[in-house]
Amino acid sequence: MSAFDTDIDVEVEELLVAANVPTDAAAGKTGAWRSERPVIDFEVCIECGQCFTFCPDDVIDHDLDIELDYCKGCGVCANVCPVDAIEMVAERSF
Ligand code: SF4
Ligand code: SF4
């Protein structure tokens, strides 16, 4: 028996599993938390698909429309874009 084989550890493990089960927009329109939003320059975009492939919230569709209600403004899309077609722009600019 290890030091971690206790009833308390089992409960913690169950809580961690529960915390990692995705739920559908459980926190509502989470885009309200965002301080910057991604803006795509379609003159520069080469339609490689990297942005919608790597967006952690899956809010960019294959037409490159961004569902801003749920975009967190994390900037992953801008970082993976190979041609720098995505600029993160401050929300106060809109
Ligand atoms: S900023 Fe983040 S959440 Fe928003 S579209 Fe880009 S990768 Fe997705
Ligand atoms: S990653 Fe950049 S170049 Fe590729 S589809 Fe998205 S915006 Fe266009």
Residue whose C-alpha is closest to residue 79's, from 59, 53, 42, 43 = 53
Decide if pLDDT at 35 tops 60.
yes
Q: Of the CATH numbers 3.40.47.10, 3.40.50.1360, 3.30.70.20, 3.30.565.10, which one belongs to the domain with range 34-93?
A: 3.30.70.20
Tokens of 83: 């041609």
Distance 34 CA to ligand 1 centre (A): 10
Q: Is the pLDDT of residue 66 over 70?
A: yes
Distance from the CA of 94 to the center of ligand 1, in angstroms? 17
| Residue of 41, 43, 51 to mutate, ligand 2, most atoms within 8 A of C-beta | 51
- What pLDDT does residue 26 have? 55
Specify the ligand 2 atom closest to the Cα of 47. 5
Per-domain boundaries in the chain: 34-93
At 79 the pLDDT is 98
Provide the mean pLDDT of the chain.
82
- Out of 1-5, 16-20, 25-29, 60-64, least confident range: 16-20
Q: Across residues 71-76, what is the average pLDDT? A: 96
